[in-house]
């Protein structure tokens, strides 16, 4: 405040001096006295004199600390920045050094080789398990044993225990069911037991081993499974087809079960010719059918079915009462007939060929048969049948005889994956003329 008032006073005096007038006539003493009074007046009234013109540029004002330190503000700021940059550079160097140390430590860890851990080889032991249970011929129990261990299993140290519906039934020594002394690791054996299952039951098979025989796991030595075996009763089978002299179809039945089929049982019969149903009727069995296929029964359709050329025949029979036939899957038979008429002159010969389809393998029947029948007039005249140029009939001799001449050619199922060509020759060795038919029947 004092500085501002002094500046205002100085400017006022300069103005009065510059104006001339009565100031010029005043003495120096009067001027000094007048100046002193103005100074006292300014101090007592604390009057602020506003500048008339724009104030001159004011130099930056420094604080007391700046004057005492003797360092201007700008220089001090620059120095602080320099110091901050230096501190940051030092911190960055420290961080880089720490990172380098960590990298070195990691490299050291990577290059370190762990001490080898001693491996302990597991003890080789067998591990027997029952892997499957099923029925053969729809009744006999079969068990499959598998050794999933790492050492052979001696069969003389085990026995097979059977439970049916939770009750103990049979006990068999393994060596009595198999001639294999050792069951090697990852190998299996099939054990056919004499035990039969009748009806639907829960069967449990367990392998017990001697106490001194160690296994990897003795808790997996058993298997439970629900199996359904055939009940005791008659089992009607369509055994074969036959053709009359007029080439009309007859159906041959047989009883393969353990019980006789009584007389008067009703069966429904359906006949299909070339996939078209041509006959559907009920038939009363006119005689008793003995068990174990001890007799055969010929069923003649009420409406005769004649065959010629190439004919595909399918017949199915169904009992009216379920206990009259315990097994229905063998109640259908399908066959194809190929009928060739022929006329042979004196010492004449004629060749016939046909394709037989692929026969898929079956569960119980390992082979199929192709049936040949040659019929001709004049029963006293012999004919000769020859087989040629087919891989399936190599090594079969020629067949000669009087009418009717019948031949069965075995054909293994699953032998080929495509149709096979068959060639049959019929030769007349005599001087007389012969007329007849070659009848071929195959699945």
* Radius of gyration (C-alpha) of the chain in whole angstroms: 60
Distance CA 204, CA 195 (A): 13
Quote the pLDDT of residue 437: 93
Quote the pLDDT of residue 353: 87
The burial class, CB within 10 Å (0-12 / 13-18 / 19+), for 308 is exposed
pTM for the full predicted model: 0.57
Distance CA 112, CA 103 (A): 14
Quote the pLDDT of residue 39: 61
Quote the pLDDT of residue 248: 94
| Cα→Cα distances 36→28, 30, 45, 325, Å | 12, 10, 14, 153
Quote the pLDDT of residue 57: 47
The list of the chain residues with pLDDT below 70 reads 1-89, 92, 99-121, 358-367, 379, 388-396, 411-418
Distance CA 340, CA 349 (A): 14
Nearest by Cα to 358 from 282, 289, 415? 415
Contact (Cβ atoms closer than 8 angstroms) between residue 329 and residue 316:
no
Distance CA 235, CA 328 (A): 8
> 210: alpha, beta or left, given left = phi > 0 and alpha = psi -120 to 50?
beta
What is the CA angle 235-241-246, rounded to 5?
145
Q: Give, to the nearest 10 degrees, the angle between helix 2-19 and helix 28-45.
A: 140
| Eight-class DSSP state of 26 | S
Quote the pLDDT of residue 356: 74
Sequence-distant (6+) residues with CB within 8 A of 142 are 133, 134, 135, 136, 190, 191, 192, 193
Nearest by Cα to 401 from 425, 377, 382, 429? 382
């Amino acid at each position: 405040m004092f500085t501002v008032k002094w500046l205002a006073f100085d400017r006022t005096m300069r103005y009065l001096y510059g104006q001339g007038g009565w100031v010029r006539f005043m003495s120096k003493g009067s001027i000094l006295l007048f100046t002193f009074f103005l100074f006292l007046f300014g101090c007592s009234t604390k009057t602020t004199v506003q500048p008339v013109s724009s104030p001159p540029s004011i130099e930056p004002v420094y604080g007391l600390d700046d004057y005492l330190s003797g360092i201007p503000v700008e220089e001090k700021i620059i120095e602080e920045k320099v110091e901050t940059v230096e501190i940051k550079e030092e911190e960055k160097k420290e961080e880089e050094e720490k990172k380098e140390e960590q990298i070195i430590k990691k490299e050291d860890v990577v290059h370190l080789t762990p001490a080898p851990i001693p491996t302990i080889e597991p003890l080789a032991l067998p591990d027997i398990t029952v892997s499957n249970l099923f029925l053969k011929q729809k009744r006999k129990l079969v068990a499959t044993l598998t050794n999933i261990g790492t050492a052979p299993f001696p069969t003389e140290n085990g026995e097979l225990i059977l439970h049916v519906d939770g009750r103990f039934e049979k006990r068999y020594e393994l060596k009595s069911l198999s001639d294999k002394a050792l069951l090697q690791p990852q190998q299996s054996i099939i054990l056919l037991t004499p035990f039969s299952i009748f009806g639907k039951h829960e069967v449990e098979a367990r392998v017990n081993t001697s106490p001194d025989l160690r296994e990897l796991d003795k808790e997996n030595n058993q298997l439970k499974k629900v199996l359904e075996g055939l009940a005791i009763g008659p089992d009607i089978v369509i055994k074969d087809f036959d053709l009359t002299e007029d080439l009309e179809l007859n159906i041959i039945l047989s009883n393969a079960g353990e019980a006789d089929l009584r007389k008067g049982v009703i069966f429904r019969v359906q006949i299909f010719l070339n996939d078209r149903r041509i006959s559907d009727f009920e038939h009363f069995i006119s005689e008793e059918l003995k068990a174990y296929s001890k007799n055969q029964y010929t069923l003649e359709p009420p409406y005769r079915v004649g065959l010629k050329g190439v004919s595909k025949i399918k017949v199915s029979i169904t009992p009216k009462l379920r206990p009259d036939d315990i097994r229905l899957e063998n109640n259908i038979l399908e066959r194809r007939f190929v009928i060739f008429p022929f006329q042979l002159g004196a010492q004449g010969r004629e060749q016939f060929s046909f394709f037989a389809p692929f026969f898929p393998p079956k569960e119980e029947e390992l082979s199929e048969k192709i049936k040949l029948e040659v019929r001709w007039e004049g029963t006293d005249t012999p004919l000769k049948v020859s087989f040629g140029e087919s891989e399936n009939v190599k090594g079969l001799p020629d067949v000669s005889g009087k009418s009717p001449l019948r031949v069965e050619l075995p054909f293994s199922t699953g032998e080929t994956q495509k149709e096979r060509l068959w060639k049959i020759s019929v030769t007349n060795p005599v001087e007389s003329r012969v007329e007849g038919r070659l009848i071929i029947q195959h699945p």
